[in-house]
Amino acid sequence: MGFEGAGARTDGGTGTPATGGGATDSRPPEIDRALVLNPASGDGSHREQVRELADRDGFVVLETQAEAEAARFARLVAEAGADLVAAAGGDGTLNRVVRGLDAADALDEVTVGVVPCGTGNNFASNVGVESIDHAFEVLADGERRRIDVATADGRLFLNSCIAGVTADASASTTPGLKDRLGVLAYVVTGLRAAADFDALPLAVEATGSAASESWSGEALMVLVGNARRFPSEGRSQANCEDGLLDVTVVERMPTADLLEEAAIHRLFGDGTDHVTHLRPSELRVEVRRDEPVEFSFDGEMGSYESLTMRTSQRVLELCVGENYVPDPD
């Protein structure tokens, strides 16, 4: 399949490929750099700005009309020889682009860039990319680092995999609460919406670190970070290059305790009761109930009765900003 018929919109909306159209064979045209643009990310106001900057810097722009196209476009441009592929959207768009590169067996050959156009842009913030304008500066002149890629039963994620209260609370979380409490805002929103949340009966086994550890019980949430960690305050970047997952398990506890401001601020702290922190290279999560559990992989949802998560160390070259910290610990 060439770019024609793939759903790409590369000319501002007419559907003509940036290479001029007319290619009808099965091979995509050769290109050097490409940008996969999700025009629906965030508030949808970024499209023209991204296209203008991408055109200025010589990127072929492939604009998605459906979520699945981001992975397909990334695979196509990798097969066309692109050595720099940027994702303009949120964490989910970036996830799909990297999955497309992986499907093309191109993770070792392609440098990836992130242009933050989503609602939260947590991954971009973690790797030092602050805005759309800054993203193009980083693409042009920023440092390249090789970072870890995590998988859950073969399903790739770059930033985080989460389950429990946080997995479905983001849609109703207000910006003010996010500013005040960060990631814990999702916990508060979820508990206010469902104070009788049915905790998840889980067994967790962590291996590949200094010593194997296990946990079992009823969890409010399981938060697994690759580029993201879940602190009570401060920066949310995990070590993206150490080959380890940053795992936090929050046990079931009285709802009133969670909704107290003081309890919220110390919820993820090292000395907090009901919270377990793990740093394995492999994590096994088993659900101990009849129904599967919803997990969110960089915002992409999936239901599982068990999952085995692993990291592959420093397999993806990424353009990072000057505020990226290789060892944030």
Q: How many CB atoms sit inside 10 A of residue 205's CB?
A: 17
Q: Which CA distances in Å does 95 have to 15, 114, 235, 261?
A: 24, 10, 21, 34
Instruction: Summarize pLDDT for 165-188 with one digit per residue, the tens.
Output: 766 554 445 555 554 555 455 555
pLDDT tens for 14-71 read: 333 343 333 444 555 678 999 999 999 988 999 999 999 999 999 999 999 998 999 9
CA separation for the pair 192, 198 (Å, rounded):
13
Residue 123's pLDDT is 96
Question: What domains, with CATH codes, occur in the chain?
Answer: 1-141 (3.40.50.10330), 157-310 (2.60.200.40)
Q: How confident is the model at residue 320 (pLDDT cuts 50, 70, 90)?
A: very high
User: What residue type is assigned to position 288 of the chain?
Assistant: R
Structure confidence at residue 80 (pLDDT): 95
pLDDT mean across residues, the chain? 83
Vertex 99 angle, CA 97 and 105, to 5°: 110
Positive/negative CA dihedral, 79, 84, 88, 91: positive
Band (252; pLDDT cuts 50, 70, 90): confident
